[in-house]
Structure 1
Amino acid sequence: MPTELSVGLTEPTHQQGIGVVAPFDFALDRELWRWAPDDVSLYLTRLPFFTTPVTVEMAVAIGDRRALRRATRDVLTPEPGVVVYACTSGSFVDGAAGEQVLRRTMEGAGAPAACTTSGALIDAITVLGVGRLAIATPYIEPVTRRLVNFLREHAVQTVACEGLGLLGNIWRVSYAEVVEVVRAVDTDEADALFISCTNLPTYDLIEPLEQALGKPVLTANQVTMWAALRAIGREAVGGGRLLHPADQLESGVA
């Protein structure tokens, strides 16, 4: 016999889910959720803590396969449709081959599908037809250089790059600082611009920057969630030409 409270209520449908493996210092859970439709859940877990600053060595350590395998298994209980490794530097630091190893590791741990932030970036660049990219990062120069090398392996030319030189606390960077580094790196030679690092807040900046620069602006969390949702047949919620290709055609951007 239904209770008075339950009369007229619709039983909740089974939610689709995305497993997210993030670095220990990731602080932008809310930003990832903003890209997700209301009926898609995110199951987040963190990689083990350590004290190394944000250097090449840290990026390599964050991509440790044993830790990634364990973290992937940690998010499988609620049966996500995909598991995503949400770290840009950790997925580009060992090049194209290293990124493929990360995906195979997650799949080997039981993920029904797997993607990484840097792999998602390449997919987004391919969809947009971008061959020349300007990149803005929060990193020190050796880490940014690894990103340039990763892009080169995928036949993407970096026409300009600029880093903030940070060794930690990246999530504390303000929108104003992000805009400043983006404006510093933008050039007419670039088909699009990429803002690296999932720990850098960018959700509200994408559309204003695209309007100001007249070209697609990709960000780490944007491409991460776009790719993860795409893997389960869904679309991300938010702005940007990646999510709205019709706007790209109307603006005349190839």
Structure 2
Amino acid sequence: MPVIGFIYPDHAAEDDYPLAEGLLGAGVRLPVAHIYGTDLHAVPELLDLGSPARLAEGARLLAGHEPDAVVWACTSGSFVYRPDGAREQVEKLAEAAGKPASSTSFAFVNAAAALGVRKVAVAASYPDDVAKLFVEFLGAGGVEVVSMSSEDIDTAAEVGRLAPEAVVELAVSHDHPDAEAVLVPDTAMRTLGVLGAIEERLGKPVLTANQVTIWEGLRLAGETKTVDSFGTLFRRGGE
């Protein structure tokens, strides 16, 4: 039975994880450990949030679950370190956990590669300066961003309060005709329950933060699971 541990910052949309556990079915456990800092979408605060000490604490909290892999479930708290720093962040987390590790930022790059997606539109909730760092991270991973929007929402708590219909509209309204997929990069946003609706509206793959984070954890554990309601990635991303 694979156990994937997730280190989640503060509280916002972590209920996407038990939702996923229930739909993935028997044989998968997705425990979540919370670490606390600020939920402000600002570079200095995000660097502190993703620091080695905080992630090591998250690994310690997950240890009792005996996870097969650990994922830092925070996009901005990983890409803000830039590609080399984010890689070092994951390496230190793996060392602290004694298990394979990754982060949501790398999950986006790996999920895009799994789907053969090279050009994307980004529908970001972050302020513009933070969103641009995600664009830079994707570019370093071979993913071209053909359009990027930033909603300028300052805190994760505000993102977590978005109504489902607002999440759908955010994704749909920021598509681009040249994009092969739309990326929605914030684990504070509840997206698993609306993925089907977004993809139906857009007619193309949608990659969202909690979706790719869970997929990445399963990938690290060598597991492939199919859930129709979790978008194209969970229908054919493991092929």
Give TM-score, length-normalised by structure 2. Answer: 0.90
Offset from partner CA, 1:1-45 (integer Å, 9 cap, x none): xxxxxxxxxxxxxx4322111112x32222112222333222322
Q: 1:243 aligns with which of 209, 234, 237?
A: 234
Letter in 2 for 1:231: L
RMSD: 1.8
Q: CA deviation at 1:95?
A: 1.5
Count of aligned positions:
231
Does 2:141 match 1:154?
yes
TM-score (norm 1): 0.85
Deviation at 1:233, TM superposition (A): 2.8
Q: Matched residue of 2:30: which SS?
A: strand
Partner of 1:11: none
Which residue of the partner structure matches residue 27 of structure 1?
12
8 A Cα contact 2:47 2:81, kept in partner? yes
Q: SS state of the match for residue 201, structure 1?
A: coil
Aligned to 2:200: 211
- Which runs of 4 or more aligned residues in structure 1 lie more than 4 Å from their structure 2 counterparts after TM superposition? none
- Give the letter aligned to residue 36 of structure 2: P
How far does residue 187 in structure 1 lie from its aligned partner after superposition? Answer: 1.1
Cα-to-partner distance string for 1:48-87 (whole Å, 9 max, x where unaligned): 334x622122221111111112221221122110111000
Name the residue aligned to 1:142.
Answer: 129
- Note the residue ranges of structure 1 that are not aligned, 5 or more in a row: 1-14, 250-254
- % identity of equivalent residues: 30
Q: Secondary structure at the match of 2:231?
A: coil
Distance 1:204 1:71 in 2: 26
Structure with more helix by fraction: 2
Partner residue of 1:120 out of 75, 94, 107: 107
How far residue 199 of structure 1 moved from its aligned partner, in angstroms, is 0.7
- SS of equivalent to 2:222: coil
1:191 lines up with 2:180 in the alignment: yes
- Find the counterpart in structure 1 of residue 66 from structure 2: 79
User: Could you give the per-residue CA deviations for residues 174-220 of structure 1, whole angstroms, max 9, x where no partner exists?
Assistant: 12222222232111110111011001011122122212211100100
Residue 169 of structure 2: aligned partner: 180
Contact 1:162 1:181 survives alignment (8 Å)? no
Higher alpha-carbon deviation: 30-39 or 165-174? 30-39
Question: Which residue of 214, 222, 233 corresponds with 1:225?
Answer: 214
Give the gaps of 5 or more residues in structure 2. none
Distance 1:205 1:191 in 2: 19
